[in-house]
Amino acid sequence: MIIIPAVDIKNGQCVRLAQGDFDRVTVYADQPADMARLWAQKGAQRIHLVDLDGSVAGLPKNGPVILEIARSVTVPVEVGGGIRTMETIDYYLENGVASVILGTAAIQDEDFVKAAARRHAGKIILGIDALGGRVAVRGWTEHTAQNAGELARRYENCGIQAIVYTDIQRDGMETGVNVEQTRALAKSVSIPVIASGGVASLADIDALLAVRDCSFFGVIVGRALYTGAIALEDAIAKTRQIPSQQEEKR
């Protein structure tokens, strides 16, 4: 399991939202690229970028900032927010972004997502953001009746790289990661799962690592890194103390 620092971008700044609420925003840096470089220097193996403005608008709004980050760090970056056309996917992947995250598109246009996974094998990530197990879209401003697990299973065996599963109620709140729901999703699909939302302390990293009947590809950490509740180096060290499930099976 790898630790993935989050850099959320709104109006060109690095911010964090509380429970996805655009009215509850905290600005942490005027230059998101500086934060991304800092996390990379501290040992991050991947950076998670979100174009918050784009997630609502339905098209990239912070593209130049995102490409600056992709070109200035030596680790892969994954990008979500406003990616709903093949042209946008091509734009990012042809300009230094390693993987793109499709969330709203995943529930609205299954054929498009599967076509993207065929065109860019291993570079498409499914973003499933849920509140009470039900999927939310358009930057979490719209809630649906779609069950998160059922949505994930629709994309089995079509070349999806991973699923980012975010618990909206916990995101940005530092109330603890939802281990049980994330575990339930990971057990229900063969697609690797990345946990997201609510990571508050190293105890959350321990809790994910302690799950023995499935494994997680990674965990996204946001606010806890920015407030200093978690030191990235300490979190990374935790993941190296316990062999992964895959290593144990070898």
- Helices 32-41 and 63-72 cross at an angle (nearest 10°) of 30
Q: Which two tokens stand for residue 194?
A: 């990345």
Q: By the 8 A CB rule, do 40 and 77 touch?
A: no
Q: Which two tokens stand for residue 50?
A: 């979100």
Q: Which of 11, 158, 216, 95 is nearest to 79 (CA)?
A: 95
Q: Which residues are catalytic?
A: 8, 129
Q: Which of 102, 101, 51, 96 is nearest to 76 (CA)?
A: 96
Q: How far is CA 218 from CA 5, 110, 119, 143, 171, in A?
A: 10, 25, 24, 26, 16
Q: By the 8 A CB rule, do 216 and 179 touch?
A: no
Burial classification of residue 241, based on how many CB atoms lie within 10 Å of its CB (0-12 exposed, 13-18 middle, 19 or more buried): exposed
